[in-house]
Amino acid sequence: MSPFEFSATTIDGSALAAPLANPGAGGFAAFEGRVRDRNEGRQVLALDYEAFEALALAEGARIVQDALDRHGATAARCVHRLGHLSVGDVAVWVGVSAPHRAEAFAACRAIIDAVKHGLPIWKKEHYADGDSGWVNCEHAAHAQRFDYSRQLALPEVGHQGQSRLEQARVLVIGAGGLGCAVLASLAGAGVGRLTIVDHDRVDASNLHRQPLYRIADVGRLKAEAAAERLAAYNPEIRVTAMPRRFDAALAGELVPDVDVVVDCTDNFAAKFLVNDAAMRARVPAVLASVYQYEGQLQVVRADRGGSCLRCQWPEPTRDGLVGNCVESGVLGPVPALLGQMQSMEVLKLLLGLPGQLEDELLLVDLLSQGVRRLAAPRNPGCAGHCVRIGAGPQAAGDVDVTLPLTAAAAAGYRIVDIREPMECEFEPMPVTGHESVPLGRLLDGALEVDGDRPCLLVCAHGVRSRAAAEFLRARGHANVWSLRGGLAGQAG
Amino acid sequence: MPRVNLQYYALLREQAGRRAETLDTTAETPAALYAELAARHGFRLPASQLKVAVNAAFADWERRLEDGDEVVFIPPVAGG
């Protein structure tokens, strides 16, 4: 039994299904695609199928194997008709057996979708009015081209500018709220090569601010879902998905090969990584971050020896001192607008437009609709730092403590919940006898630390508490600790 | 000047008026070859709508063509 075959004669589903039976397979799903009597409003009488068989057989076998591996199905096969078919004939048949129905349905769906869209098989429809046509080809022959005329009309853009955009390579790190806006507008502008790095999957809680994703994308890799959406939006550009964690190795591999890198991440560790890789490769970087109703924008002109992120934030580990979208909340337009502002800076760079941000920090407050442009010059103290940037953010393991909270209480730790009051109400502490000092008040000095008794700081995920512990350690309080993984790490 | 073997399918087959041909070409890449063929056979599909296979595997439009390569330009597909 071959995983993918062509047939010149009528397809018999039950005969094809027989060899897929397996004692361990509790589910079997089959799909039959049949010739329909209508397509796009025209009455269809018959079809002719033809295929580039050598390539289709190899690719078809790969599609079936891929679906088995990905969905954990037991066995599968697909048979496609060739030649002349009449209305009602079975054109394609897919059968999958699997331990349970979910895997069987999922693999069956994956196979038919991939076969329909990926294999070199064509159909010519014969219509009741005597006309005929190759499906997809005839429309594509008159396909709309992506029309840049409205931006070409700008005297600063023109054909020369458009051709610069077509040649440009832009790397976007993070396909969240900022990234969706950046990617959509750069794809629309016709930036020739976009690479998307994001290891995360689409979560339903992302959708309100990340409109590149549909509800059906929940659970998919963001980089892949975004690349697919952008390819459909503008088929004239090349979009590459990199569903990998952005680390120093990947940064070293990707950053030197692009014209601009755009930081759309939500944490300081990643931002420093982008900053350092850009500085090392002398590639300009456009960084942004958002917090509730505000945002910041900075363009690191590494190509011109400009000021960098470390010039403004000399202390490397700051995650937790400021909240992210998960902890602090965010309104959709905030990352969308800041992302569009990043795109504007990218286009200014690529097109050589005036007004580029350089050695500046742009502060945007969307409640007051205020924008402030602050000078952020190169910090002379950073010069050495920028040379030694290989060091990267420090690992901060030594403040972390891993143990159940009940054990910590029994061992005599003073337990301090540094979450916001609303979070405490939503998820109460699993122990009693703790204190509550929200992070903001702690940073203002509201927590009196007694040197003899160990003090354990607790937050939702262990990020803010680690930053707070480091903050207190830096002020001479050696006996302060952070609960690794926070309350989330205590579950189960 | 590489000599390449071409196969045509579906709409391209009809527009070329043949299933296959062997061609001596000055084109160094599939992209340049398609431009040459589009002019010769009046292909209306833009290259952006096509894929290309060289020696029965999907290939890059900018790869270098070698003597004896089997090249197939793949119009938008409609299996199922």
A31, closest residue in chain B (CA to CA): B80
A460-481 pLDDT, tens digit each: 888 888 888 888 887 888 888 8
Kindly state the tokens that stand for A413. 């730790």
Tell whether B54 lies on the interface with A, counting CB pairs under 8 A: no
Q: The tokens of A129 are what?
A: 């009015």
User: Is B61 near chain A, with CB under 8 Å?
Assistant: no
pLDDT range class, residue A268, cuts 50, 70, 90? confident
Q: Confirm or reject contact between B49 and chain A (CB < 8 A).
A: yes
A112 at the B interface (CB within 8 A)? yes
Rounded to an integer, the average pLDDT of A252-257 is 92
What CATH class has A397-490? alpha beta
The residues, ordered by sequence, that sit 6+ positions from A461 with a Cβ below 8 Å of its Cβ are A327, A485, A486, A487, A488, A489
**Contact between residue B77 and residue A114 where contact means Cβ atoms under 8 Å apart:** no
The predicted complex's ipTM stands at: 0.74
Helices (H), A202-261: 222-233, 248-254
Q: Is A398 on the interface with B (CB under 8 A)?
A: no
Q: How far apart are CA A452 and CA A240, in angstroms?
A: 55
Asked if B55 is an interface residue toward chain A (Cβ–Cβ < 8 A), one would say: no
Residue A364 DSSP symbol? E
Interchain contact A1–B (C-beta under 8 A): no
> Is residue A86 scored above 90 in pLDDT?
yes
So where are chain A's domains?
4-140, 149-391, 397-490
Amino acid letter, A221: L
Mean pLDDT for the stretch of residues A75-85:
96
- Average pLDDT over every residue of B21-47: 92
What is the pLDDT, as a whole number, of residue A185? 98
Fold designation for A149-391: Rossmann fold (3.40.50)
Would you say the C-alpha torsion A98, A101, A103, A106 has a positive or negative sign? positive
Residue corresponding to tokens 């050695």: A359
A221's tokens: 């890799």
**Mean pLDDT score, A304-313:** 83
Cβ contact A18:A30 at 8 Å: no
Strands, E assignment, A59-168: 75-81, 83-86, 90-98, 121-127, 132-134
pLDDT band at residue A326 under the 50/70/90 scheme: low
- Nearest neighbour of A112 by CB, restricted to B11, B56, B80: B80
The arithmetic mean of pLDDT across residues A138-144, rounded, is: 50
pLDDT of amino acid A396 = 39
Report pLDDT for A77.
97
Using alpha carbons, select from A143, A153, A262 the residue that is nearest to residue A197.
A262
Most B CBs within 10 Å, among A134, A146, A239, to test the B interface: A134
Chain A, nearest residue to B10 by Cα: A122
Query: Is residue A53 packed enough to be buried (19+ CB in 10 Å), middle (13-18) or exposed (0-12)?
Result: middle
Report DSSP letters for B30-76, one per residue.
HHHHHHHHHHHHT--S-GGG-EEEETTEE--TTSPP-TT-EEEEEPP
User: Which residues in chain B are closer than 8 Å to A235, comparing Cβ atoms?
Assistant: 48-49
Q: In this predicted structure, what is the pLDDT of residue A141?
A: 42
**What is the distance of C-alpha A490 from the center of its chain?**
28
Write the DSSP symbol of residue A305: T
Q: With b meaning 16 or more CB within 10 Å and e meaning fewer, what string describes B39-70?
A: eeeebbbeeebbbbbbebeebeeeeebeeebe
Which of A51-60, A392-401, B12-21 has the least mean pLDDT?
A392-401
Predicted confidence (pLDDT) per residue in A369-381, tens digit? 988 888 888 877 6
Q: Which of B5, B54, B77 to mutate to test the interface with A (most CBs of A within 10 A)?
A: B77
List A51's β-bridge partners, or say none: A121
Confidence of residue A111 (pLDDT cuts 50, 70, 90): very high
Put simply, whether A31 touches B (Cβ < 8 Å) is no
Asked if B80's CB is within 8 angstroms of A122's CB, the reply is no
- Whether A55 sits inside 8 A of B72 (CB atoms) is yes
Closest CA in chain A for residue B42: A141
Count how many Cα atoms sit within 13 Å of the Cα of residue A167 in the half-sphere of its side chain.
8
Residue A24, pLDDT score: 92
For B56, which of A58, A138, A141 is closest by C-beta distance? A58
Candidates A117, A120, A236; nearest CB to B9:
A120
Q: Count CB pairs under 8 A between chains A and B.
A: 87
Domains annotated for chain B, with CATH where assigned, are: 3-74 (3.10.20.30)
Q: What pLDDT was estimated at residue A142?
A: 45
On the question of pLDDT at A289 being above 50, the answer is yes
- Note whether B1 contacts A: Cβ–Cβ < 8 A: no
| Alpha-carbon gap: A111 to the closest alpha carbon of chain B (Å) | 11
Q: Domain A4-140 has what CATH class?
A: alpha beta
**Rounded to 5 degrees, what angle do the CA atoms A82, A87, A91 make?**
30
| Nearest CB to B78; choose among A58, A122, A141 | A122
- From its phi and psi, is residue A315 left (phi > 0), alpha (psi between -120 and 50) or beta? beta
Task: Please check whether residue A489 is in contact with residue A456, taking contact to mean a CB–CB distance below 8 angstroms.
Answer: no
Looking at the complex, report in whole angstroms how far the Cα of residue B9 sits from the nearest Cα belonging to chain A: 7
| pLDDT > 70: percent of chain A | 91
Cα–Cα nearest to A329, from A290, A280, A272: A290
- Please check the confidence at residue A319 and state whether its pLDDT lies above 70: no
CB contact under 8 A, A122 and B58: no
What pLDDT is recorded for position A317? 53
At A327-349, the pLDDT tens digits run: 678 899 999 999 999 999 999 99
Least Cα distance to A176 among A329, A325, A346 occurs for A325
- pLDDT over threshold 50, residue A388: no
Kindly tell me the number of DSSP H helices and DSSP E strands found in chain A. Answer: 18, 22
Q: What is the pLDDT of residues A395-453, one digit of tens each?
A: 334 788 888 888 888 878 899 999 988 888 888 888 888 999 998 888 888 888 877 88
Q: Which residues of B touch A59 (CB under 8 A)?
A: 58
pLDDT reading at A54 higher than 60: yes
Cβ of A145 and B7 within 8 Å?
Answer: no
Query: Residue B46's closest chain A neighbor by CA?
Result: A141
Structure confidence at residue A491 (pLDDT): 65
Q: Which residues of chain B have a CB within 8 Å of the CB of A123?
A: 78-79
Least CB–CB distance from B78: residue in A52, A59, A136: A136
Q: Is A318's pLDDT higher than 70?
A: no
Which of A204-218, A397-411, B8-22, B44-58 shows the lowest per-residue confidence on average (mean pLDDT)? A397-411
* Same fold? A4-140, A149-391: no
> What pLDDT is stored for residue B28 in this prediction?
94
Taking each helix axis from N to C end, the angle separating A222-233 and A177-189, rounded to the nearest 10 degrees, works out to: 30
Q: Which of residues 120-149 of A touch B (CB under 8 A)?
A: 120-124, 134-138, 140-143, 145
Contact between B9 and A124 using a beta-carbon 8 Å cutoff: no
Chain B residue closest in CA terms to A52:
B9
Nearest to B79 among A80, A141, A142 (CB): A80
For residue A428, give both structure tokens: 């109460």
Tell me which residue of A374, A443, A353, A387 sits closest to A156, measured CA to CA.
A353
